[in-house]
Each structure stands twice: as structure tokens, then as C-alpha cells.
Structure 1
């Protein structure tokens, strides 16, 4: 997750806690992505086919998809050299990324075990800037990253980001910055893609019109629980009001029309630079913790609420804990900060364990965008 101005953080077990969700969501979209790859112009044998993964974290979410893209390209074009460029913030855990790519961490299976003449590089640039040279990329992927903002624009007084309780003024400020950042992101990708190249983006989504039945927001209930338990810790005197207000998640889960807006209008800048929208859809991605709970219940007759709740807590702690730690006063020791975050997620897990998994809205709502450079 990348920003021009800030450092965002995920824990070192990202692939095990969060990356598996990314793989599931990409499986949903994979046929459409591979069909788009099949319609790309053929490249000459003296060219390199370049795949970018922007906001890559440890690379685990996209590795199966990149393997399938390489396979499709090789079937059409023979042994065309392939370059994979991973982009993330300079502080990203690239060490874990390369361990996964080179098979030192064996799950998921690395595409380097299946193909020769594949070259892997990484960039610590921001995706709000140019990452690769103009007209050099064939496929650019970005998942669960482009909803982050390039800079903070407000301090939420009774929320931690736009959903669920931002004021109208806070919402306007965040929406305006998100729109500017999204167009900046798209314009850079338009310049980087070759003619016929494709961009695939998956963003944490918000669905104010409830077009996807039964869920309004990405990971709706876990995010509500994080906010509500943090409020209770403030009210219990565990944290101060100042620390609560400092807990800003500089992100904006977008509505579908906010994602498609840069492609619309009389003369949109994105389309002027050759990037045309091919599809945009909301997808409800099933919660893996619930699937695992249901499988054990059906196969073994065990209603394991404890593991279910622990898995929910670990998954969201993986990506969110740094937001809470950085909000706490510098007068607190590192151990004290960690203990407060431990308490937060312990409270969340207890609440989750007391809720029937079928009644807990922990599915992920994702907007998928596919665009092509023409």
C-alpha cells in the first residue's frame, strides 16, 4: 500500500493473514483478466513482456494470477521474455516478497518454478508517481492498495475514516482527495502502458445503494467493531480523546461511480491519454474465516467459534494495527502501545465469538476495474 507522503504498514505475516483473501477475489475475476490478456496485441520477440504489481505487499496475493498470465502469454507468443515489477512503499517488506517469489516461502507456489526467462525486480516508488518508463508495461495489477490517500486531509472527530461516521465536511474533504489521487493513479498507468496493455485494479468498496445484497461496506462489521471498541477504550479512559482523534486511516473506500468517474464526461483526462474502461463491477468476496468455520462444522460437527473469532481478529490486525499504534502518544512506551492494541483486538475477538458467523458481516466488498490502453 503506497503513498507519496506517508508510510503505511502491514505486519510480516501479511500473506498468511490477508494475502489469502486477495487470491480468492482474484479467482473470481481471473477468467475476465485472462480473456483480456488473450486479446492483447502480439509483441515482437525482441521485446520484453512486462507485468506490474502495484501495492504488492509480500506478493502473495497475485502470484497465482501472474503465473496464469505468463502461461497465456507463452502459449500465444512462445518463449517471450517476461519481467515482473513489484511496486510498494520503500519501507515495504521486500525481503519477504523475494523469499516468496524465489520459493524460500513455498506458499503460494512461485511462477519461477514453472517458467524460465522470467526476471523479477522491485521498486520503492509511489504509485502516485511514475513507476516504470512510458509505454513499457503490458499488464499492471493493483489490489487492495489504491484506496489509500496520498496525504491526510482531515482528522475525523468520531470515526476513523469515511465509513461509517464521518461528518459531511469530513466526507467531502476525503472524497475530493480520493478523486484527485485516483485520477493521478490512472494517468500514470495510462502513460506506462503500451498500446493494447491492460490495467486491473481491485479496490476496497463502499456500496451506499446496496447493489450487492446484504453488505454496504468492505469488511463491514469488523471495521465497525474496530471503531466501536476504540471508542469504548476512550470512554473507559484507556486512551485519550486526542489519541482517538489521531487514529485516522488515510483511506477512502470508494463507491462504484467514484471509481468510474475519471472515464466519464465530455473530455475526461484519463480517456484523453488513451486509457478506456472495459468493465467495472462490485464483487462480494466470501470471508475465509467463515468458510473454514462452516467446513469444520459440516465435516466434523465442531462449532469452533474460538478459532473463527481469532482468525477474524488476526486478519484485520494484520493491516490495521499500525493505524492504532501510530495514533498513541509518544509518551507511551512501545510495550504499552502494543498492550493497548492487544486489548483492542481481544475485545473485538470476544465480540465476534459471541456472534453467530452467519450473522456477522465480514465478507469483503470489492470494486474491480479493467481498463485498456488504446
Structure 2
């Protein structure tokens, strides 16, 4: 049974947990850094005065430090004293405390060794305009745009509706992906100044496989096991449908090629196979238990709040997520393999 939902998407798990368990996301964004560096270098050569960088989907900030620091330095190549303002945007429920603690105290902070850099946080959805028109020089978004603004449907045969046997459910996912993507691009088209650049890296989908089938399947099996043991009801299990899915290159390109966002021009669009840093480590250590812990903790940090939102209010959510994380870790350790998924790289320019 599939039911319309429309519940809003939650931020990553707080308390700095996502910062501690986002190694996969850190590995993913490395492929996008050359595009970010090229954009920052060109902006530094073609503009002066206050430079504005927008970090869309910053979460708790760990994976923003390196990219922001590199962009700041390249935008200052013509003027080492050029002031730079960095806006970190995420949902109101985001753990901004961890972000600002990291900025203030961590040696990896992009404030370390740099002056005239001004970080700011915005607790609003990036599916709307959140900065003034023509104010942004450089936009950056990594590991975020596969999250939908809401979960369009509940399914009873998987934890991700995009993997459901129901064609209607999969169509509902694609409808929200298309709407969200157009809204995101429309908002950025308003905010970017003429000549400004936007660099995005997020989950894609392959031609013959969507990607992430193995890990998502193990997650769902762990949920079903908890339900069968009486830790979850049928209704709770159905509500535990994640609001995320990858896009194909055709889906990414569609609104940019159709003229729906006039002024934004594609500089680069490609699909690459996502790295698996946990598997790479396992190849050297043979430690299947650690492989399971790394993957399960990452999955909890990224997906836990959205799954917990489907639980009855009487539940001890942390205890149940602990149990789910343990079951997932055990399944991974019992049959280790490399995860297979894809990421999109996109660079666009606002025409002058």
C-alpha cells in the first residue's frame, strides 16, 4: 500500500554526529573540487570588492572547511585583503552549534590563518531564495541535493520509495525531484550575480542501476527484522520511508536545457562512480567489523532523523536507532562488499 505523505525532510543527526561520520561524503566531494577551484579563480580575476560564497546544505560544517578555504584563497589571488562573506545554509533543525564550534576551535577551520572572512548561518530551505538578488559570487553544494523537500509517498516494501516495486511510488519520487530541482535552480538564478558560478555534487543514478541498492537493501532488511521482533509496528515501518533519491543526468539537465531557468548556462555536467573509502580501508585491514561500523554509523548520521520521525511518540528513538545501527553493522560485516553508487557533478554560470 502506498499513501501520500508530504512530511518535511529533517536535518542530519545532531550533536556533531554527522561531522564524525561523514567520511563518505568527504570522499565524494573531492571530485568536485577542481570545478570549485576553477570557478573561484575566474571570479577572483573578474571581480573586486566583497566576495560572497553561499554553501547550500552545509550541515555541521566538517566537509565545508576545505572547499571554503580553497575558494577563499583563489578568490583573493588578485587581492589578498579582499573581504569574503560565507553563508552556510541548511534547515532550521540543523546543528549549527557544531558548525560554529568547529569554525571557532578546530585547526581545520577556514578562519584559521585568514582574516577578513565573515561566516554567517541561514536556517532556511535552499528550495527558496534565501539571499538578496544578484548578491552571490560563488555557490557550492555538496552531498545535499539528493534530499527532497518532502517525502512524497510511503511504501511498505522498502525504506526508499525509489526502490519500491510500485511504479506509482517511483513516479511520485521523480515528480518531487523535478519540482525541487527547478525550485533550487530558480532560487539560485535569482541570487547569483551576472558572471557568478554554482558548483554542485550530489547523488545521481546509473543507466542500468539506480545505485546504492546493496546498502539501502541491508538497511531495509534491518528495519524488517526489528518489525518482526516486535520493536516496530507495521505503521511505523511504512512511515520510515526516506525522502532521498538520485537524479539521472537527463533529469539534471532538463530545466537548464528547456529554458525554464533563463540565464543559467551549463559549463560542466558529468556522472562518476562514487568512491567507497570504507571499503578501501577494509582492503588493507580485513576488519569486517570496522567496515560495518563505519557504514552503519554514516547511514544513521545521514538518515536517522528522517527514520526516527516516523516512530510513535512513545518510542525511545535513540535506543531504537542504536538497535537499527547494530543490526545494519552486523549485516555488512557478515558479507562485506564495495558499495556501488553514482554522483553528479555540475557547474553552471549566470550569464552577464
TM-score (norm 2): 0.91
Partner of 1:292: 281
Alpha-carbon spacing, 1:198–1:14, altered in 2? closer, same or farther (3 Å) = same
**Structure 1 match to 2:135:** 136
Equivalent position of 1:32 in the other structure? 35
Aligned partner of 2:95 in structure 1 is 93
Q: CA deviation at 1:319?
A: 1.1
User: Is the aligned partner of 1:263 residue 2:245?
Assistant: no
Query: What corresponds to 2:343 in structure 1?
Result: 366
Correspondence for 1:116:
115
How many residue pairs were aligned? 345
- Which position in structure 2 is the counterpart of 1:181? 180
After the TM superposition, which residues 246-261 of structure 1 pair with which residues of structure 2 at under 5 Å, given as runs?
246-261=239-254
Q: SS at 1:178's partner residue?
A: helix
**Offset, 1:167:** 0.9
Unpaired runs of at least 5, structure 1: 211-215, 298-302
- What does residue 277 of structure 1 align with? 266
Whether the aligned pair in 2 keeps the contact of 1:287 and 1:364 (CA below 8 Å) is no
Cα distance in 2, alignment partners of residues 351 and 179 from structure 1: 34
Q: Deviations over 1:9-64 (max 9, x none)?
A: 3232211201x33332222221232123323374554x310011111011111211
CA contact (8 A) 1:23 1:64 kept: no
- Mapped partners of 2:331, 2:10: distance in 1: 30
SS at match of 1:77: coil
Give the RMSD, CA atoms, in angstroms: 2.1
Secondary structure in 2 aligned to 1:315? helix
The 1:157/1:257 distance shift into structure 2, 3 A limit, reads: same
Asked if 2 retains the 8 angstrom alpha-carbon contact of 1:9 and 1:319, the reply is: yes
Q: What's 1:238 paired with? A: 231
**How has the CA–CA distance of structure 1 residues 111 and 163 changed in structure 2, closer, same or farther, with 3 Å as cutoff?**
same
TM value normalised by structure 1: 0.86
**If each structure's strand is expressed as a fraction of its own residues, which one has the higher value?**
2
Aligned residue number for residue 316 of structure 1: 299
C-alpha contact (below 8 Å) 2:32/2:201 kept by paired residues: no
1:23 and 1:239 map into 2 onto residues whose CA distance is 33
Report how far residue 364 of structure 1 moved. 4.6
1:30–1:304 CA distance, 2 compared to 1 (3 A): same
Q: Return the alpha-carbon distance in structure 2 between the equivalents of residues 223 and 254 of structure 1.
A: 16
The answer to whether the 8 A contact 1:243-1:328 is kept is: yes
